[in-house]
Chain A
Amino acid sequence: MMIKVDEKGFYGNFGGAYIPEMLYPNVEELRENWEAIVASPTYQEEFQSLLKDFVGRPTPLYFANRLSESFGAKIYLKREDLCHTGAHKVNNTVGQIILAKKLGKKRIIAETGAGQHGVATATVCALMGMDCTIYMGELDIKRQRPNVERMRILGAKVVPAISGSKTLKDATNEAMRAWISDPVGTHYIIGSVVGPHPYPEMVARFQSVISEEIKWQLLSKEGRENPDVVIACVGGGSNAAGAFYHYYNEPSVRLVAVEAAGLGIHSGKSAATSVLGKSGILHGSKTLLMQTEDGQVVEPHSISAGLDYPGIGPVHAHLHEIGRAEFVGVEDEDAMKAGIFLSRTEGIIPAIETAHAIHALHQIEFNADDLIVINLSGRGDKDLETYIHWGNY
């Protein structure tokens, strides 16, 4: 079955644009224009040159020798942690800021969880001289302090979201409200493959550079474009969508999506949406959503702020429903251990989000000598306090 978004923004049963009328003109403007703008030569020239010289692409596809030895497979790490600002998020913000400029927008807003998307947005706003406001859950502001200060240094205004669980979903609510309040001059840079159509597909397209590069890099290193397995962590699902994108329709490639199981999938403190979620509507799209029987959104839990979201992007809900991707839940404690393990076997301190993907190696089956690519979505600098607080190293 082809994985492809349809005209109305659906991947199978999931997607769409369930938005208040107040946002209709903005979303419609974007839907009508984004593909043509992104395809234009002037856009591509600016985009490609920024990806290369500002972001530092292509990022290496690194053969992880000691990790491979310890798991008995051939493991490559796609080094998105080496992107400028420390995670894959900047691929999308570079793509969207050029788009916003071409649409004549003057002001940028964004939500952020771990702060990586906020930093990546503040960075491109500084680059383009655009006014920038970032909405961030009050709880996340506390646990991702360094990123908050990075945003401020870059000239962004950081506004705390004080409603609900005070994390990513609430920051997203606040950003949507802010967009309603200034629909003409503002562009909303959503940070993952969530939100109303066309955002999920647009963000996936900007992140698809990850699997585009993996293909040619593997070809030159291994003589084949397709690995046996691709593993990525899923918060909203943008790094996973980017790593899976050019493999969606290659059935020989196993896609493994790693969710945060928090204190245990059935502990009541988890963010494992594929297991706990039911179809519902959040932030403008129909997707799998953690909710009560009454349809109220449940407050998720993960030790990593970037995975602490009660939904997943509609494309992942679809991949799950049709069985195209395997979903794995990794608990807080295991993710922390995997973070330390990667630090000591490969000299790479990963973001805690990413550490979930590393631990998945213990939870999936594979054959000896399988070729596995793990998307190393970000580095751990922002998480030092969490590592220190955990302390078990």
Chain B
Amino acid sequence: MRANCWYGKQDMRVMDVPEPKLLNKQDAIVKVTSTAICGSDLHLYNGFVPTMEQGDIMGHEFMGEIVETGSEVKDRRVGDRVVVAFPISCGQCFFCKKELYSLCENSNPNAWMAEKLFGHSPAGIYGYSHLTGGFAGGQAEYVRVPFADVGTVKVENGLSDEQVLFLSDIFPTGYMAAEQCNIQPGDTVAVWGCGPVGQFAIRSAFMLGAERVVAIDRFPERLRMARDGGADTIDYEKTDVYDTLMQLTGGRGPDSCMDAVGLEAHMPGPLYYYDRVKQAVMSESDRPIALRQAIMACRTGGTVSVPGVYGGLIDKMPMGAVMNKALTIKTGQTHTQRYFQPLLKRIVDGQIDPAFVVTHRMKLKEAPEGFALFNQKEDGCIKIVMTP
């Protein structure tokens, strides 16, 4: 079968690889009908995530049809149309029972490695380095899905792939980021990053009752899409973010702030080069530019919610601000499975049509071009969906 494989920094190749087999009794095989490229994939593409191996199959946002099930799969049948959650979760452990699916204790075969780095291991993730299990990913024609009963949601035929595909990651991710803000009536919420995650964070913040959302980015088409979602926007290259936010909130600051940018943040000015150099010489692995701004701008007693991915160490973390302003920081890989039903319901009820975020459609064999395009944010690219 065809699969998009990682071969090195900015080196993706579509290869002919063997089809996956069932390896465990709770596995299912999914024939992929749609698969997307995520901002998280860019961190692998740009070489910021260690423990990638040449030939690893990429991708963790995918859906399709079940074509084979293991003997212990109970609630899914061959022929079911399903969306797959990006974290792999057993459904049985302490964390899965608390619906903290991305913290599953039983799904990372390389847990020891993550323990060395983080003290504990998060769940396994498809196509996301060997640190999170080295699972073959979803940018392929077929994928093996462990714990298929827990990791998939069935969808009816009335909905198109593009309407439901993002239940796999970015819709729940934006939603969880907003939920973590504990939004109260009248709240102003600021969102750094108007990529796909930021877009869903903006819309989710409104769904959860925000009075006003302020979105921050530099790409006009992304800011335009944010405004379409009801947000006010700040182009961080044109105006000072902190000053503008204080202007808008009468000096109090947003009640909560979301960092939907992550470790590859960009910024005009010397601090950006400070972080680039530190990253290059490996004395810091992540560039926390948006995170620093979010912490500084957030109102006292407010919440900073961080869906953006960080992998290692950051520098100049304004802990003094966190402490003295009594901020709450909430973060995590998304507990995707927890949001399957509630968000599917919002789609069915017509409260949101996630397809709005798709700007490019391609064939799986064009994945390397897709990565380059999405990475450079060229041609107005915000979200790419590929079909086999």
Q: Are A and B bound to each other?
A: no
B residues lining the A interface (CB < 8 Å): none
